[in-house]
Amino acid sequence: MDNGTDHFPEFAAKMRAAGLADASVRAFEHSYRALVAGATGLVPEADIAPVATLPTYEETATVDGRADLLTQTVVLKLNGGLGTSMGLESPKSLLPVRDGRTFLDLIAQQILHLRRTHGVPLRFLLMNSFSTSAATLAALARHPALGEPKSLELLQNFIPKVDLATLRPAQWPANPQLEWCPPGHGDLFPALLGSGWLDRLRADGARYLFVSNADNLGASLDPKLLAWFAASDSPFLMEVCERTTADRKGGHLARRGNQLLLRESAQCPAADEAAFQDITRHRYFNTNNLWVRLDALAEVLRQHDGIIPLPLIKNLKTVDPRDPQSPRVAQLETAMGAAIECFPGAAAVVVPRTRFAPVKTCADLLAVRSDAYALTPDWRLELHPDRQSQPPALDLDGHYKLVDQLDAALADGVPSLRACRSLTVKGPVRFSSANVFRGAVRITNPGNRPLAVPPGVHTDTELILQP
């Protein structure tokens, strides 16, 4: 690895030639310098302390929502993902979820419902990537009441991949597009600054920003949480949930001195893995539902020369993901939740699982399409009350990795999972709306031809299908 020469000017020139704003170039420089310096990003257990207690949603929800605060607020949905891990080549937010409506359709209805209910022109933005922009803007045309689609878009930046052998910009003449990659959702902050959106929103009277993922339909703007956040005078608020055994490998909230921070699994030294996974010690995880005061964001950016100094996430790949023999590269990413460490006085609040229903896999998609989740009058998708805040544990094998495979299995309808504690499926099967699963159910098809699950109620049982 050649690190004897400063190659950053080559990256800066390439990024400016591609039309990227200075804010994006400075943010990339921060990550690149960390890579060259050999920063590991590791956070040892000895350097942090667990978070013992936090305020809860039930405590904060006693503060009444105020329409005047909604006029000062922006709702922003992260919509940069194509869902490639689920076999998609289009935005994940355009997947049908309930009654033919997509994630984006339900988000649009959430915003319009809030506007009608409170009689305010609540601001709404989507952070699209260059991969999701065109299809998303076309889909937004179905909701003209939201506004002109292009006026609702914040465009995510793109950054160069780094050749690991030379620490120079990766070159791939066979497909120059593969020389670039997304920078992770930590790009929210340089994108807001570099696009001019931050200045325009503040000039227009916006004071508060609520951010969540487009694939999390439980995370709509809650006026009571907004009122509590505004009254708290905190610059940054993270919604967290209590960790369960299913969450023990995911990142957690911690303290370093008086400051809250996030520690992801990649930041945990191997020797501290047991402490990392101890959910009685580290009790809370980040939902990626964040509240930010825009004046505080502008001040942090000013103090750090136009960047938020987020920890580096080094994602190692080959320049062509489909060619393992192509040069090895680093994709330098950041996560927006890590910004909690950059805002003095940042806070967190424990919210119910009803505000956390992300779809990352086809198993997640099956769950939210089923009656384990209910569509509320304000267009949120949340766990059915019968679930007592516990989603069903779904273990689907490789026959259901891709959306097309799941859709084929659901061609005759979605099974009932409202009373299902766990469902394990091995082998190709066909579900139907006549299937009701309760308790712990295991289904096995030892063959290669898809077989139908018998109709009826299946409770705490194992089904071995035979042709």
- Rounded CA gap, 263 and 272, in Å? 12
Give the structural domain span for 130.
8-355
For residue 233, tell me if it sits in a domain.
Answer: yes
In degrees, rounded to 5, the angle at the alpha carbon of residue 448 between the alpha carbons of residues 447 and 451 is: 75
Q: Domain check: are 271 and 418 in the same one?
A: no
Q: Domain check: are 345 and 366 in the same one?
A: no
Q: What's this model's pTM, rounded to 2 decimal places? A: 0.94
**Smallest Cα–Cα separation from 1: which of 161, 160, 164, 162?**
164
Instruction: Give the length of the chain.
Output: 467
For residue 2, tell me if it sits in a domain.
Answer: no
Q: Domain check: are 350 and 372 in the same one?
A: no
Predicted local distance difference test score (pLDDT) of residue 361: 94
- Rounded CA gap, 235 and 45, in Å? 27
- What is the chain's pLDDT, residue by residue, as a tens digit (467 residues)? 455 579 999 999 999 999 999 999 999 999 999 999 998 778 999 999 999 999 999 998 877 778 899 999 999 999 998 888 899 889 999 999 999 999 999 999 999 999 999 999 999 999 999 999 999 999 999 999 999 999 999 999 999 999 999 999 999 999 999 999 999 999 999 999 999 999 999 999 999 999 999 999 999 999 999 999 999 989 999 999 999 888 888 889 999 999 999 998 888 999 999 999 999 999 999 999 999 999 999 999 999 999 999 999 888 999 999 899 999 999 999 999 999 999 999 999 999 988 998 999 999 999 999 999 999 999 999 999 999 888 999 999 999 999 999 999 999 999 999 999 999 999 999 999 999 999 999 999 999 999 999 999 999 999 999 98
**Smallest Cα–Cα separation from 182: which of 207, 157, 155?**
157
Q: Domain check: are 350 and 367 in the same one?
A: no
> Which residues are known to be catalytic?
360
Q: Which residues pair with 293 in a beta bridge?
A: 208
Predicted local distance difference test score (pLDDT) of residue 88: 87
Q: Domain check: are 282 and 368 in the same one?
A: no
Q: Domain check: are 287 and 415 in the same one?
A: no
| Pairing between β-strand 73-79 and β-strand 153-155 as defined by DSSP bridges | unpaired
- Rounded CA gap, 268 and 309, in Å? 19
Element (H, E) at 233: none
Q: Domain check: are 340 and 417 in the same one?
A: no
**Smallest Cα–Cα separation from 220: which of 381, 59, 82, 80?**
381
| Pairing between β-strand 429-430 and β-strand 435-444 as defined by DSSP bridges | unpaired
Predicted local distance difference test score (pLDDT) of residue 405: 97
Q: Domain check: are 399 and 323 in the same one?
A: no
Q: Are 24 and 190 in contact (CB under 8 A)?
A: yes
- Rounded CA gap, 162 and 229, in Å? 40
For residue 226, tell me if it sits in a domain.
Answer: yes
For residue 60, tell me if it sits in a domain.
Answer: yes
| Pairing between β-strand 429-430 and β-strand 96-98 as defined by DSSP bridges | unpaired
- Domain ends where: 355, 370, 399? 355
Q: Domain check: are 270 and 381 in the same one?
A: no
For residue 107, tell me if it sits in a domain.
Answer: yes
- Domain ends where: 300, 329, 355? 355
Residue 435 has φ and ψ, to the nearest 5°, of -90, 130
- 């964040």: which residue's tokens? 290
Q: Which contacts qualify for 395-400: CB closer than 8 Å, 24 or more apart?
A: 395/363, 395/422, 395/423, 395/424, 395/425, 396/362, 396/363, 396/366, 396/425, 397/425, 397/426, 397/427, 399/425, 399/427, 399/428, 400/362, 400/363, 400/366, 400/425
Collapsing DSSP states into helix, strand and coil, what is residue 275?
A: helix
Residue 443's CATH number: 2.160.10.10
Q: Domain check: are 347 and 229 in the same one?
A: yes
Q: What total of structural domains would you count in the chain?
A: 2
Predicted local distance difference test score (pLDDT) of residue 1: 47
Burial class (CB within 10 angstroms; exposed 0-12, middle 13-18, buried 19+) of 241 = buried
For residue 212, tell me if it sits in a domain.
Answer: yes
Residue 71's CATH number: 3.90.550.10
Q: Domain check: are 423 and 303 in the same one?
A: no
Predicted local distance difference test score (pLDDT) of residue 149: 97
Give the distance between the most distant pair of CA atoms in the chain.
69
Q: How many CB atoms lie within 10 A of CB 77?
A: 25
| Pairing between β-strand 123-128 and β-strand 456-464 as defined by DSSP bridges | unpaired
**CA atoms lying within 13 Å on the CB side of residue 160:** 27
Q: Domain check: are 92 and 76 in the same one?
A: yes
- Rounded CA gap, 168 and 180, in Å? 13
For residue 269, tell me if it sits in a domain.
Answer: yes
- Domain ends where: 328, 355, 382? 355
Q: Which amino acid is at 64?
A: D
| Pairing between β-strand 123-128 and β-strand 153-155 as defined by DSSP bridges | parallel
Query: Is the four-CA dihedral 360, 126, 343, 161 of positive or negative sign?
Result: positive
Q: What is the DSSP string of 341-376?
A: GGSTT-EEEE--GGG-----SHHHHHHHHSTTEEE-
- 């489909």: which residue's tokens? 322
For residue 287, tell me if it sits in a domain.
Answer: yes
321-332 burial, b for 16+ CB within 10 Å, e for fewer?
Answer: eeeeebbebbbb
In degrees, rounded to 5, the angle at the alpha carbon of residue 206 between the alpha carbons of residues 222 and 221 is: 10
Predicted local distance difference test score (pLDDT) of residue 386: 94
